[in-house]
Structure 1
């Protein structure tokens, strides 16, 4: 991969993500339901990543390109459908609703630029997919197999965590309670843990420790970005603020005995 090819890909994916989040802004403004923002972002990142993975460049290997594009497709389809089903059942996402209320009359403009920031936050993710897909080695290695295993564990683990939470919420007896069953006994956000885990599949494929493909190290930025977003920005901080407000002492007790992100045994 040449510097020119990398820069062209970077620019094209930046423009694509910006356009997708502009559509997300229009949908949010028209529907009043900010829950659709995350749905569109997920499908947008997945489609942009797939396109980048499959674009012919001469240096890539079709089998690996298809494998990596499949990763992006499976991730976007599972997570996007889950978020879409959740968004269809609510009138607004409380995380965004709080921001919109704080912005007041300037909310439409502020929301537009906030979503453009989200578009750029997706750039390390799609570039991770891109550099993994275009690693030039014309063979699959043991690291590709490990990446496949990691992705399977991540997708299945996140799916199980989401299913357990949906089952808890669907029981009227649990209204106002805190789910501590299954994976949620080991982590307050097991779905986030498995989400971040899945992005480690791309550096496993992309990185060549012999130094033959220096572009591959860029794939680490996707995993780092997802961890940062989930743990410090739009994931745990906003959701736990909402949970403390709605669940009170029950959630505080849950915080004291359960790890926030990495699964582990509960504390007494």
Structure 2
């Protein structure tokens, strides 16, 4: 199956998911479901590309197993938060800004379906690799493992911090959060570097670079860090400003005195 046909199926699948998610958020007043479905859509895309890809079996297995495992872990983690907590402050602010206009929310959800297609491209490049070197796939798997373990650890550390009522109104600066204000986002970016490595030598290897480049741009300048930090400043004020002054924004580094 050619790339265009693969992406058409992924787009249709993601579109149906997002329309269902839009209906769900109307009933529950919680747009955080969009993040869950973005990850779930990529899990489905990874499996579809592994099944229909034209590349070597080793490359397709890498996409099907590691791609789906990463996305499903993320989807389950986000779903646990969405079902047990009130709507994320970022989406509450968006709801106020749009005055609850559901047409805008529908457009927002459908835009996320397009992002599922866009972020499927690095996986598609790997699934079409005719002859990846074993060392290359091993390096990609190692980066993948470090990124997933790092993101899982950052998520767990933050969850433990937030579960303590004594930490209400305070900023988590423990564990990985001592070295980066957004270690979960950093490891998310690192994950996409694995696919850039695995795509080297493929007919459309440049698509592999889209992952780390695009996710960095989105996290750093568009939908990740800007919204998260605005919400943190609204809720934690000076405590978060002090955290900003001493802690690296994205790439982990030693805190400043």
TM-score, reference length from structure 2: 0.95
Cα offset, 1:61, TM superposition: 1.7
Secondary structure of the 1:104 match is coil
Cα distance, 1:172 vs. partner? Answer: 1.4
1:240-255 alignment to 2 at 5 Å? 240-255=229-244
Paired position in structure 2 for 1:37: 34
CA positional deviation for 1:45: 1.6
Where in structure 2 are the equivalents of 1:160-175 lying within 5 Å? 160-175=153-168
Q: Where does structure 2 lack aligned partners over 5 or more consecutive residues?
A: none
**Which stretch of structure 1 is more off in the superposition, 14-23 or 224-233?**
14-23
Per mean C-alpha deviation after superposition, the further-off stretch among 157-166 and 127-136 is 127-136
Select between 81-90 and 186-195 the one with higher mean Cα deviation. Answer: 81-90
Q: Is the 8 A contact 2:34 2:112 kept in 1?
A: no
Match of 1:262 among 245, 251, 256: 251
Q: Report deviation, 1:94.
A: 1.4
- Whole-angstrom CA distance in 1 between matches of 2:6 and 2:42: 14
Cα distance in 2 between the residues matched to 1:133 and 1:176? 45
State the partner residue of 1:99: 94
Tell me the secondary structure at the aligned position of residue 117 of structure 1: helix
* Distance in 2, Cα, partners of 1:233 & 1:50: 28
CA distance in 2, matches of 1:69, 1:149: 16
Aligned residue in 1 for 2:70: 75
Report the Cα distance in structure 2 between the residues aligned to 1:91 and 1:172, rounded to whole angstroms. Answer: 16
Runs of 4+ in 1 over 3 A off after TM superposition: none
State whether residues 151 and 184 of structure 2, in contact with CA within 8 Å, keep that contact through their aligned partners in structure 1. yes
Within the candidate set 210, 213, 232, 1:221 is matched to 210
Structure 1 position 16, deviation (Å): 2.3
Native 8 Å contact 1:124 1:225 kept in 2: no
Pairs aligned (count): 257
Residue 129 (structure 1) aligned to one of 123, 133, 157: 123
**Secondary structure at 1:215's aligned position in 2?**
coil
TM-score w.r.t. length of structure 1: 0.91
Give the deviation of 1:91 after TM superposition: 2.5
The CA distance in 2 between the partners of 1:220 and 1:13, in whole Å, is 20
Pairing 1:1-268 to 2, within 5 Å after superposition: 5-55=2-52, 57=53, 59-104=54-99, 107-137=101-131, 140-208=133-201, 213-268=202-257
SS where residue 92 of structure 1 aligns? coil
Q: Is residue 49–residue 60 contact of structure 2 (8 Å, CA) maintained in 1?
A: no
